[in-house]
Structure 1
Amino acid sequence: MTAAPQPKPAAAPPSRARRAARPLLALAAVAIPTLYVAAVDPNTPGHYPVCPVLAATGWWCPGCGGLRAVHALAHGDLATAAHDNLLVVVLAVVAGVLWSGWLWAALTGGRAPRVRFGVPQAVLLLLVLAVFMVYRNLPVGAALAPPVV
């Protein structure tokens, strides 16, 4: 008669440090280029390439002023960041809230916030980008255009 197989011991749950590794690596992936933009001022010509949309059309694209906004945010200047690119500031806040929820879930063992991004969300995002681009290039939306350097 053979002995019944012994059940395998349950694996220990991952440690807090191991659970927090992914959110912290994501933070590092964003922080390293942000530190570079904080140190190398995009308001000084010659450090970064010119936007191809601006060069080709003369229109501010949705990303124009984004590096300047990140530079201003890194230096704690929210008003300048919002003037340079309001969309970047809003997206930074949204990303920060989502990242905080992800880190909190990792530290507490809870569920990370789920973000669903399908076709309807992609269409909405493209629509927001298009409206932002057109509006900031109209005289009425000139306050949303970054300063000319």
Structure 2
Amino acid sequence: MNAAPTVSARPPVLRRLGPPLAALAAATAPTLYLAVVDPNAPGHYPACPFLTATGWWCPGCGGLRCVHALTHGDFSGALHDNAPAVLLFVVLAVLWARWVWAAVTGGPVPRLALGARRWALIGLLFLVFTVVRNLPVGAGLAPPLI
């Protein structure tokens, strides 16, 4: 009688690496575009609708310039354009690295579980950032006008 082949309980490492590598590819394509097409030059990207409607910088204003600066190694310029975006990119890089490690080792995929209080705190921090960067005292947090 032939013994049935054993079936592995978890997929092979290359299959487990598929989702994090696909996420990396999905993030790399627009990042490369931003590295080449300078958002500081007028006419390449649409204006922020919030900025157009209110005259205020939104929390995302300067995000494209921030990515462009990071792709050119200008860390201080990236912080000036949008400091929370730089922090977000660091957090996303750490989460992605943990995801890759889990795929390589076969461990559980790490989850980002934030409770309602933490989400409210994050929202409050973005609100404070938005207000401060639009005040004269926080002008250094606003990206330059094009």
CA RMSD of aligned residues (A): 1.7
Q: Summarize deviations over 1:85-138 as a string: whole Å, max 9, x none.
A: 001100000100110011011111122322103432332221111011001111
Task: Evaluate the alpha carbon distance shift between residue 8 and residue 121 of structure 1 in structure 2; reply closer, same or farther with a 3 A threshold.
Answer: farther
Give the aligned residue type for 1:37: L
**Alignment correspondent of 1:102:** 99
Larger Rg: 1
Task: Evaluate the alpha carbon distance shift between residue 117 and residue 10 of structure 1 in structure 2; reply closer, same or farther with a 3 A threshold.
Answer: farther
Q: Distance in 2 between matches of 1:11 and 1:130?
A: 52
**Alignment correspondent of 1:62:** 59
Alignment of 1:89-128 (within 5 A): 89-128=86-125
Output the TM-score relative to the length of structure 1. 0.90
Say yes or no: does 1:18 pair with 2:15.
yes
Q: Which runs of 4+ in 1 moved over 3 A?
A: 7-10
Output the TM-score relative to the length of structure 2. 0.92
Q: What secondary structure sits across from 2:56 in the alignment? A: coil
Unaligned segments of structure 1, at least 5 residues: 1-6
Work out the number of aligned pairs and report it. Answer: 144
Q: Summarize deviations over 1:1-48 as a string: whole Å, max 9, x none.
A: xxxxxx975422311111111110011111111111111100000110
The alignment-based identity, stated in percent, is 59
Unaligned segments of structure 2, at least 5 residues: none
Q: Distance in 2 between matches of 1:102 and 1:25?
A: 12
Task: Evaluate the alpha carbon distance shift between residue 16 and residue 43 of structure 1 in structure 2; reply closer, same or farther with a 3 A threshold.
Answer: same
Q: Distance in 2 between matches of 1:117 and 1:78?
A: 28
2:30 pairs, out of 24, 33, 57, with: 33
**Alignment correspondent of 2:139:** 142
Q: Distance in 2 between matches of 1:25 and 1:142?
A: 38
Q: What secondary structure sits across from 1:85 in the alignment? A: helix
Q: Distance in 1 between matches of 2:114 and 2:55?
A: 32
